[in-house]
Structure 1
């Protein structure tokens, strides 16, 4: 069986000991059981919360872009140009994703 070390602060270690004792098992067996149950799970809904946040931000930005586009189309065009540049620099889109390159849609 493989082994590894894990450092915990005292308070967390005490919680582990209490939980393992309540489950009538050793701390190692308790941690193994937790890891097996978590195997790919998202028990706290972290990814769902992030997706919800992303959706909200995208909706807000779409509303803002629509409003700016009506008031000042040149500002919207400049903002979209800056956005594409930043996304390219960060590797979040490729040049093929840009409008006019065959892969994107015009803004």
Structure 2
């Protein structure tokens, strides 16, 4: 097995560590999985299908949040706090955005 060494700045390193923790993986295993996706043998661009799915999910969640917000603003506020808690637990919420 070959070894690859990569230097990253502290901010990126911390973000990678949070994502690895949120995925319940070691940092090495997490980075290895990202590299495997980037080197897809079928030549697919690793983000295209994920971006499409994310776009659809955002549209659906926006419609749902709008509907809930019109019916019960307090319920929407509680749901947003719960969502932030889940994202924070999984290391997916940037501390700078957690305000």
Q: Into which bin does the TM-score normalised by the smaller protein fall?
A: 0.5 to 0.7
Give unmatched runs, 5+ long, in structure 2.
2-37
Structure 1, unaligned runs of 5 or more:
3-38, 100-107
Larger radius of gyration: 1
Q: How far apart, in 1, do the equivalents of 2:83 and 2:62 lie?
A: 13
CA RMSD of aligned residues (A): 2.6
Paired with 1:68 and 1:98, the residues of 2 have a C-alpha distance of: 23
- Post-superposition shift, 1:90? 0.7
Partner of 1:73: 73
CA pair 40-46 structure 1, distance change in 2 beyond 3 A: closer
- Report the TM-score, using the length of structure 2 for normalisation: 0.53
Deviations 1:23-47 (Å, cap 9, x if unpaired)?
xxxxxxxxxxxxxxxx856624553
Q: For residues 69 and 40 of structure 1, what CA distance do their matches in structure 2 show? A: 42
Which whole-Å CA distance do the structure 1 matches of 2:84 and 2:44 have between them?
Answer: 34
Instruction: Report Cα offsets for 1:65-106 as digits up to 9, x if no partner.
Output: 01100001111011000000011111111332123xxxxxxx
Deviation above 4 Å: which 4+ runs of structure 1? 39-42
Over 3 Å counting, the alpha-carbon distance change for 1:89 and 1:60 in structure 2 is: same
**Which residue of the partner structure matches residue 96 of structure 1?**
96
